[in-house]
C-alpha cells in the first residue's frame, strides 16, 4: 500500500494570503520622490514671492517661516538653490493645500489688478482722444466731478499736442489717478468702445 503524499505547506505560507496576485511594493519610486520634491520647492518659491501682508497671515511652522525669510534675503544663485531645497524639505510639515490656495488667491488678485490697470489706461487714452468717451464716462459714472475731469482732459490734450521731446507725463498721471478709483472693479465690459475720433479734438 503506497503512502499518501503530505500536503505542501509552502503554498499556504507564501501564497495563501495574496490569492492569485503577488505582493506589490507600495513605496514611491525615486522618480516620484524627485517630482514631489520639485513640486514642494516650486510651491515654496511661490509662497516666498507673496507680499509681506499675505505671508504674515499664513499659518506656517516657525522653522519654515524663518527659512522662507532667509530665501527672500538670499541673492546668490547657488545660495538660493540650496535654501530652496531646504524650504522644500520643510514644506512637508506644512498644510500644502492651504498654501496652494493662498498662492492661487494671490495670482487671481494680480490678474484682476492687471486687468483694472489696462482698463484704466484705455479709458484715459479714449478720454484724451474722444469727446464721445467723455459722454460715455459721464453716463457710466454720473457722480464724477465733470469740471475737474474736463480740466484734466484739456491738460492731457495740450501735452499730447506738443512735440514728443517736449511732452511731460504729469497730465497723463493725474488723469489716470483721477479715474482709477471709479474702476475699482473694472472688467472687460467697463472698457469704452474704440472710435475714429480726431486725436486733436477739444472738449467744449
Q: For the chain, how big is the Rg over CA atoms in Å?
A: 32
CATH topology identical between 30-94 and 111-190: yes
Using an 8 Å Cβ cutoff, are 194 and 127 in contact? no
CA atoms of 90 and 63, how far apart (whole Å): 8
What are the sequence ranges of the domains in the chain?
Answer: 30-94, 111-190
- Write the CATH number of the domain with boundaries 111-190: 1.10.60.30
Nearest by Cα to 61 from 32, 92, 101, 15 = 92
Rounded to two decimals, the pTM is 0.49
What secondary structure does DSSP assign to 140-157, as a single string? H-TTS-HHHHHHHHHHHH
Checking 129-138 for CB contacts under 8 A at 24+ apart, the result is 129/197, 129/198, 129/199, 129/201, 130/195, 130/197, 130/201, 131/197, 131/201, 131/203, 131/204, 132/195, 132/197, 133/192, 133/195, 133/197, 134/203, 136/192, 136/193, 137/179, 137/192
Tell me: the pLDDT tens digits for 146-164? 999 999 999 999 988 888 7
Nearest by Cα to 140 from 192, 184, 197 = 192
Superfamily of domain 30-94: PSPTO4464-like domains (1.10.60.30)
CA atoms of 163 and 151, how far apart (whole Å): 21
Q: What is the pLDDT of residue 193?
A: 61
Using an 8 Å Cβ cutoff, are 82 and 75 in contact? no
Find the length of the chain: 204
pLDDT at residue 115 is higher than 70: yes
Residue 24 CB neighbour total at 10 angstroms? 7
Q: With bands split at pLDDT 50, 70 and 90, how would you rate the model's confidence at 199?
A: very low
Tell me: the pLDDT tens digits for 35-53? 888 888 999 899 999 889 8
Amino acid at each position: 500500500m503506497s503512502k499518501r503524499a503530505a500536503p505542501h505547506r509552502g503554498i499556504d505560507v507564501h501564497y495563501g494570503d495574496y490569492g492569485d496576485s503577488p505582493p506589490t511594493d507600495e513605496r514611491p519610486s525615486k522618480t516620484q520622490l524627485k517630482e514631489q520634491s520639485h513640486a514642494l520647492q516650486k510651491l515654496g518659491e511661490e509662497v516666498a514671492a507673496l507680499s509681506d501682508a499675505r505671508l504674515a497671515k499664513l499659518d506656517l511652522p516657525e522653522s519654515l517661516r524663518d527659512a522662507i525669510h532667509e530665501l527672500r534675503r538670499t541673492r546668490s544663485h547657488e545660495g538660493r538653490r540650496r535654501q530652496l531645497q531646504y524650504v522644500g524639505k520643510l514644506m512637508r510639515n506644512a498644510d500644502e493645500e492651504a498654501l496652494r490656495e493662498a498662492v492661487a488667491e494671490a495670482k487671481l488678485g494680480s490678474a484682476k489688478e492687471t486687468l483694472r490697470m489696462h482698463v484704466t489706461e484705455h479709458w484715459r487714452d479714449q478720454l484724451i482722444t474722444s469727446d464721445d468717451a467723455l459722454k460715455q464716462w459721464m453716463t457710466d459714472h454720473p457722480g464724477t466731478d465733470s469740471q475737474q475731469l474736463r480740466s484734466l482732459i484739456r491738460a492731457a490734450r495740450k501735452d499730447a499736442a506738443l512735440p514728443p521731446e517736449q511732452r511731460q507725463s504729469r497730465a497723463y498721471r493725474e488723469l489716470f489717478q483721477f479715474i482709477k478709483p471709479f474702476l475699482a472693479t473694472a472688467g472687460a465690459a467697463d472698457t469704452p468702445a474704440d472710435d475714429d475720433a480726431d486725436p486733436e479734438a477739444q472738449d467744449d
